Amino acid sequence: MLKRSGLRHYVTSRKVADSRHEAGVRTCDSVDCIRSAANILQSMDKAVDPCEDFYTFTCGNWAEEHPTPDTAIEHNWFAERTQHVMRRIRGKHQHFVTDNLQKNGSENEPLPVTQARIMYMSCMNTDELDSQGLEPMFQFLRDIGMQVRPSLQKEATQEPFNLVPIAVKTKRLLYQDILVGFSIYPQNSNRTIQRLTLGTPDVRSPLPGYKDIDKQIEKRRKKAKMKEEKEEEDAYSAAFLEYLAQAISYIYRWNNSASLDKDFDLTVKMAALRILEMDQRLTGVMNENDEDEEEAVEMSVEELQEWTNNDLNGTLKLNWTEYFTLMFEGIENVTLHLEGGEDKIVVTNADYLKSLMKLLSETSSKTLELTMWWEVVHILAPQTNRDMREMKERYIERVMGGRAPETRSTFCTNAVNYLMGMAVSYFIADANFLNATKSKVVDMLVDIQWAFSSLVRSADWMDEETKIATLEKAAAVKHFVGFPEWLLDRDQLEAYYEGVHVNETAYLYNMLGIVGLFTTTMLQSLRKPNDEDSWATEPTDVNAFHTFQANAITVPSGILQFPFYGLGLEALNYGAIGTILGHELTHGFDNSGRQYDKDGNMRQWWTNSTVEEYVNRSACFIEQYSSYRVDEINSWVNGRLTLGENIADNGGLRESLRAYRRFRERNGPEPTLPGLEAFSDEQLFFLSFANSIHSVMVWCENWSKESLQWGMDDEHSPNRIRVLGVLSNSPEFSKVWKCPKGSVMNPERDKCRIW
């Protein structure tokens, strides 16, 4: 992929350094500058030629300085900073002892903050969890009308099993899609209208327990099955079967005085196998009906029923009127009008639903019941006692290649942060931030919007009409920075969590209370005009977001910290957070975002000829990125899958550099960085860019083979490729680093460019 030329030293910047010293440029000695300088110096591998491999030049020593923790599968600045935020919330630092999850609260703090603390304590109290054992899970199963221990026999007497109430209750109480995916989404062509939406199962319960890893495993398994990579699929299946059998056996034995029959172990294995087989069939049905290739259709409930009943031989398993009626039962201010099609259903994957019904009608009641039981149990089991937690952890370790699980305190902090993110953010929200940092970040964003607009004005491939509409959209982008101001208002924070009750010994039910609040909010949104003026995430998130349908970007407090922001010099800030802001802004004009107009409605608002030219220019990126190979795992980058992110990366860098130049025009030159006096401000901009990050992947990081492999399924290119891809398209980079034509970072080929 990249050749490492170990002996060439960079000469270019030394010359620059001399001239800067001669000119008497001041060196910045603030704490922020010294920290930034130390970070950059520690990460760099100066033996590498920046024009041959800028990634290694900038980050070559990062891995050595930041060893991957035993509990992680990959490591990067995002992960490290997330840990930092979590520690701050939890309160391990001496200076943060007044407000944190481990301390007793003061009487003045808002109720949800106290509740978040109680939830954390209930999670940490593993003695209590051990003494309650599986009982809270059993109680839940009884509550939703499931047997605590369903029959493991394949063909016991065929009592009819109605899966509708179970599927609905699992969604309402656990927020988990079972068999079908249900949600409420704004209509594409008019985002103020909310629609019932049905498709493939997609949403996972927010209850903690290695959700991300589960999702990855499922993705890999699905892919292995589709590509018929038998060996890989078998490895997953073997680990899954072992976990299943262990869990089932444990649950049947726990506090059970009934004597088990002598073939019990064999019965368990056979039952586990049936669950696996059903799971594989469902995966098969999903693979055959890829949602991305389907066109969404609108149906009345009668049409939907007829569509899914067709071809079935009389054994109806799913009544859609019952499904929707139960789903909205008791939800205030929402009355469904299903009959006659007043409330139509947007079906995003009609073929999947049809195939699913066929599969269900061919499956025995007992197997269905057992499969549904496991769907619920696998979410709840890790919330119970130590034995069940360890079983899940061993399974994860086996699939992941022997990594230790996270510590309990990290697990609990993450859980509370995920479920009560706004309450937890109270610990990091302060009024000073709003006055100082927020206004600076907003100023930077305004500069970047200006830079984007100036690029649009000078683009030679867009016609006037499209340019005007694009400039309007860029000017209308909304931004949410730091944290919502209402977090500082006790009444508003309390209203946000109204109806939540927590108790120190009710860990599972504390979480279910919050999940219930999620569901109610989601269901009530059907009758609320959707203005989408809301935060895309929790303020603690170390990431940034673009929401197409709101034409908005969210920049949480979590990412407004070293090494993304507060770096001492604006050259460094623009290189890091600036490129992230530019990236998010550009998403509104990537291959997906460009399809939404300034109000967030999907329609064609560009002329045909400009769209055609856009597609041509996209092809350049697809070809460029598809030509990159990750040698370590012998795999090519998917230029199509990563197109949107690559467009955003390329635009983001150019916009941020342009915005930085404007800043410098206004404010004059900046000082140099101690120990890095050799580098010009624009060189520091690029160093900071490569040293920092974006999104799930970081540009400086340690890759393990597994995470590299998994990274290939991600919409972001691997980070090394992100750096190489963007910089090799940047004439500005080549000029600033004096990279000769034909070097790796300044190749002979045409440079791809949209924005």
**Residues in 468-527 at the binding interface with Zn ion, rule: CB under 5 A:** none
The number of beta carbons lying within 10 Å of the beta carbon of residue 125 is 16
User: CA-to-CA distance for 698 and 691, rounded, in angstroms?
Assistant: 9
What is the 8-class DSSP label of residue 550?
G
Residue appearing with tokens 């012998």: 634
Please say which residue, 382 or 575, places its beta carbon nearer to Zn ion: 575
Which range binds Zn ion by CB under 5 A, 53-61, 165-173, 467-475, 638-646?
638-646
How near is the Cβ of 545 to Zn ion at its closest, in Å? 8
Three-class DSSP category at 231: helix
How near is the Cβ of 695 to Zn ion at its closest, in Å? 5
Q: 299 forms bridges with which residues in the sheet?
A: 345
How near is the Cβ of 716 to Zn ion at its closest, in Å? 7
Please say which residue, 538 or 645, places its beta carbon nearer to Zn ion: 645
Please say which residue, 168 or 752, places its beta carbon nearer to Zn ion: 752
Please say which residue, 412 or 643, places its beta carbon nearer to Zn ion: 643
How near is the Cβ of 648 to Zn ion at its closest, in Å? 5
How near is the Cβ of 729 to Zn ion at its closest, in Å? 17
How near is the Cβ of 559 to Zn ion at its closest, in Å? 13
Please say which residue, 232 or 715, places its beta carbon nearer to Zn ion: 715
- Cα–Cα distance list, 29 to 33, 670, 685 (Å): 6, 12, 18
How near is the Cβ of 649 to Zn ion at its closest, in Å? 8
How near is the Cβ of 216 to Zn ion at its closest, in Å? 19
Non-local CB neighbours of 19 within 8 Å, separated by 6+ positions:
none
Please say which residue, 682 or 714, places its beta carbon nearer to Zn ion: 714
Please say which residue, 442 or 696, places its beta carbon nearer to Zn ion: 696
Paired tokens of 546:
């673009």
Q: Which of 43, 47, 50, 4 is nearest to 683 (CA)?
A: 50
Which range binds Zn ion by CB under 5 A, 121-129, 215-223, 261-269, 641-649?
641-649
Please say which residue, 588 or 671, places its beta carbon nearer to Zn ion: 588
Which range binds Zn ion by CB under 5 A, 165-173, 194-202, 623-631, 640-648?
640-648
Residues shown for the chain: 755
Please say which residue, 493 or 648, places its beta carbon nearer to Zn ion: 648
How near is the Cβ of 645 to Zn ion at its closest, in Å? 5
Please say which residue, 225 or 583, places its beta carbon nearer to Zn ion: 583
* Degrees to nearest 5, angle at CA 399 with 397 and 405: 25
Please say which residue, 220 or 546, places its beta carbon nearer to Zn ion: 546
How near is the Cβ of 544 to Zn ion at its closest, in Å? 8
Please say which residue, 12 or 695, places its beta carbon nearer to Zn ion: 695
Number of residues that bind Zn ion (CB under 5 A): 2
How near is the Cβ of 580 to Zn ion at its closest, in Å? 9
Burial 210-240 (b: 16+ CB within 10 A, else e): beebbebbeebbbebbeeeeeebbebbbebb
* Degrees to nearest 5, angle at CA 459 with 457 and 464: 60
Characterize the bridge pairing of strands 545-547 and 190-199: unpaired
Paired tokens of 414:
């993450």
- Cα–Cα distance list, 230 to 61, 238, 256, 390 (Å): 38, 12, 39, 28
Please say which residue, 49 or 645, places its beta carbon nearer to Zn ion: 645
User: CA-to-CA distance for 359 and 247, rounded, in angstroms?
Assistant: 26
Burial 582-605 (b: 16+ CB within 10 A, else e): bbbbbbbbbbebbbbbbbbbbeeb
How near is the Cβ of 389 to Zn ion at its closest, in Å? 34
How near is the Cβ of 165 to Zn ion at its closest, in Å? 40
How near is the Cβ of 725 to Zn ion at its closest, in Å? 14
Three-class DSSP category at 222: helix
**Residues in 304-333 at the binding interface with Zn ion, rule: CB under 5 A:** none
User: CA-to-CA distance for 120 and 504, rounded, in angstroms?
Assistant: 9
Give the burial class of 252: count Cβ atoms within 10 A of its Cβ; 0-12 exposed, 13-18 middle, 19 or more buried: middle
Q: Which of 44, 11, 8, 9 is nearest to 673 (CA)?
A: 44
- Annotate each residue in 122-161 with x if it binds Zn ion (CB under 5 A) or - if it does not, as one string: ----------------------------------------
Burial 346-369 (b: 16+ CB within 10 A, else e): bbbbbbbbbbbbbbbbebebbbbb
Question: Phi/psi at 128 (nearest 5 deg)?
Answer: -65, -40
- Cα–Cα distance list, 4 to 47, 51, 150, 721 (Å): 9, 11, 60, 15
Give the DSSP H or E segment for 573. Answer: helix 570-573
Please say which residue, 66 or 546, places its beta carbon nearer to Zn ion: 546
- Annotate each residue in 368-407 with x if it binds Zn ion (CB under 5 A) or - if it does not, as one string: ----------------------------------------
Please say which residue, 597 or 645, places its beta carbon nearer to Zn ion: 645
Inter-residue contact 217 to 236 (CB < 8 Å): yes
Q: Which of 453, 675, 390, 733 is nearest to 585 (CA)?
A: 453
- Cα–Cα distance list, 175 to 62, 167, 372, 568 (Å): 40, 10, 15, 44
Which range binds Zn ion by CB under 5 A, 339-347, 628-636, 639-647, 657-665?
639-647
How near is the Cβ of 657 to Zn ion at its closest, in Å? 18
How near is the Cβ of 212 to Zn ion at its closest, in Å? 18
Which range binds Zn ion by CB under 5 A, 478-486, 571-579, 637-645, 724-732?
637-645
- Annotate each residue in 642-671 with x if it binds Zn ion (CB under 5 A) or - if it does not, as one string: ---x--x-----------------------
Please say which residue, 199 or 651, places its beta carbon nearer to Zn ion: 651
Residue type, 629: R
Residues lying near Zn ion in the complex (CB under 5 A): 645, 648
